[in-house]
């Protein structure tokens, strides 16, 4: 009798609870799929409220001692973590490409932008300083100190599985808090590698915990009475839910959400640099960036450059992320591909001019991949679906206007306010734009104006809920509470001068 071949199931993604990587007891599991090949890479658990509670209890117990850990000790752990991330950069990028689909160079960029935040966390000694005013009254000093708030949590999206977890947990724990991370169930393997590095760097048991899942685990995080703050990056629909649920349960919340980023191109702009910027920012990462340039607003004679944009977009190479020279890989899932293709079809149906159709590209060796090539619409108006919807794919829509004032009004009328940019050689036009535009992050001849970590990621209107953003100075405020102390000291021979029944200090 012939031997029956053994079927080796895909490995399971573990939880990190109290310093140990453990198997989930979840009843439901989901496949982690390579979007370029449909290979099942792993199985991730859909955790329930009980497993979230277990992680939170571990974090709460660890907080009792971690909050009093010297700043220098916390900073040295961050120094070690950044060293380990650099050591394993290639390994992290390879994992990220396999489960998310980005090209290897883009995956390394994903890791590197997160690494910059870890490097910034090493400056916690300076970042956490308070202030003191001496002699606010006779012999009285007032000062404030920053203290950690407790157990915090982060919910991260699929499009940056390294960068956005690194936006969150390093800054939370270096300020003395403990943390529960819930990464995207679509690509959880890269965050788990980061968690392993955090353990190797010396993060104590319970200070960082990782759970997985969908809505049940998200809701458990937002409603758990022990969690003090929730940080979220992702879609508007989920972000609004997270913000409302967290806020109504007494938590601080910061939610960075959807976008429709406009790039205004003036006729005096450097043509070649502007075209390169538009195409790179519009189609890089297959358009799956919240800061992607998804709308090009061509002002006046700049509309004559549309054929040049199309020609440049045609030169981009679409392929599997590990193929050398690939400019963009697949989108994250078959469902995402179908949604993007549906919006492209709707754009055609509504009368927009399809300058470049990226549907159904042929990618030899990756016939089952979720590929969409660069797609460009022109003649787009404000009511068209390709303008009103966040497509989150490699689709650039072009709107033509006559003046800069029209371009500013168009951008400000859009419900989103994540990022924008202007391409011009006029300082007056650039200054007018930065002053009048109602968008959180503004680029001047810069297509993706994501600030470096010593500033803070911002956003406005429909792109952000909560007044403090991730990383930078704002996140120090988010993860700490201010305690103000007013102090007067007397020596043994001092007299008080009698009872003072007023509220003044003299």
Residues ≥6 apart with Cβ < 8 Å to 391: 287, 294, 340, 343
CB 462, CB 258: distance < 8 Å? yes
Residues ≥6 apart with Cβ < 8 Å to 260: 294, 295, 387, 390, 414, 415, 416, 418
Mapping DSSP to helix (H, G, I), strand (E, B) and coil, where does residue 271 land?
Answer: helix
Q: Is 290 a catalytic residue?
A: yes
**DSSP alpha helix (H) spans, 305-370:** 306-314, 334-349
Query: How many alpha carbons fall within 13 Å on the CB side of residue 473?
Result: 4
d(CA 54, CA 16): 10
Tokens standing for residue 74:
């916390």
Q: Which of 47, 122, 290, 352 is catalytic?
A: 290
Neighbours of 68 (CB within 10 A): 9
Q: Kindly give the interhelix angle for 215-223 and 236-248, rounded to the nearest 10 degrees.
A: 30
Tokens standing for residue 200:
């190797």
d(CA 101, CA 121): 29
Active-site positions read 290
């Amino acid at each position: 009798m012939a031997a029956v071949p053994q079927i080796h199931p895909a490995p399971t993604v573990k939880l990190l609870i109290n310093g140990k990587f453990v198997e989930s007891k979840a009843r439901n599991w989901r496949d982690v799929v390579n979007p370029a090949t449909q290979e099942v890479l792993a199985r991730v658990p859909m955790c329930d409220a009980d497993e979230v509670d277990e992680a939170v209890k571990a974090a709460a117990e660890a907080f009792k001692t971690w909050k009093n850990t010297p700043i220098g000790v916390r900073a040295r752990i961050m120094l070690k973590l950044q060293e380990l991330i650099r050591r394993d950069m290639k390994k992290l990028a390879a994992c990220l490409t396999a489960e998310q689909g980005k090209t290897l160079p883009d995956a390394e960029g994903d890791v590197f932008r997160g690494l910059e935040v870890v490097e910034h966390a090493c400056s916690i000694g300076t970042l956490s300083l308070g202030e003191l005013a001496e002699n606010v009254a006779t012999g009285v000093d007032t000062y404030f100190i920053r203290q950690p708030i407790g157990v915090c949590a982060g919910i991260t999206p699929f499009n940056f599985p390294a960068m956005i977890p690194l936006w969150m947990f390093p800054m939370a724990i270096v300020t003395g808090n403990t943390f529960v991370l819930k990464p995207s169930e679509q690509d959880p393997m890269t965050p788990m590698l980061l968690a392993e590095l955090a353990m190797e760097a010396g993060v104590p048991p319970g200070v960082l915990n990782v759970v997985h899942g969908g809505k049940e685990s998200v809701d458990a995080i937002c409603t758990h009475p022990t969690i003090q703050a929730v940080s979220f990056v992702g879609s508007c629909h989920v972000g609004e839910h997270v913000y409302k649920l967290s806020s109504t349960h007494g938590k601080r919340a910061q939610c960075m959400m959807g976008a429709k980023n406009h790039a205004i191109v003036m006729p005096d702009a450097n043509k070649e640099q502007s075209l390169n910027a538009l195409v790179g920012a519009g189609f890089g990462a297959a358009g799956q960036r919240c800061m992607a340039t998804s709308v090009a607003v061509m002002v006046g004679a700049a509309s004559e450059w549309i054929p040049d944009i199309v020609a440049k977009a045609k030169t981009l190479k679409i392929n599997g992320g590990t193929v050398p020279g690939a400019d963009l890989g697949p989108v994250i899932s078959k469902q995402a591909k179908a949604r993007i293709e549906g919006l492209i079809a709707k754009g055609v149906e509504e009368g927009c001019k399809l300058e470049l159709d990226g549907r159904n590209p042929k990618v030899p060796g990756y016939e089952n991949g979720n590929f969409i090539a660069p797609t460009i619409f022109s003649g787009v108006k404000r009511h068209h679906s390709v303008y009103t919807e966040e497509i989150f794919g490699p689709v650039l829509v072009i709107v033509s206007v006559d003046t800069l004032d029209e371009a500013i009004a168009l951008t400000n009328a859009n419900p989103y306010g994540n990022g924008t940019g202007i391409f011009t050689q006029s300082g007056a036009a650039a200054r007018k734009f930065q002053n009048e535009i109602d968008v959180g992050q503004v680029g001047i001849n810069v297509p993706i104006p994501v600030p470096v970590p010593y500033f803070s990621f911002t956003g406005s209107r429909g792109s952000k809920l909560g007044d403090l953003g991730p990383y930078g100075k704002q996140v120090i405020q988010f993860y700490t509470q201010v305690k103000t102390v007013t102090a007067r000291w007397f020596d043994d021979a001092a007299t008080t001068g009698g009872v003072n029944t007023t509220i003044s200090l003299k």
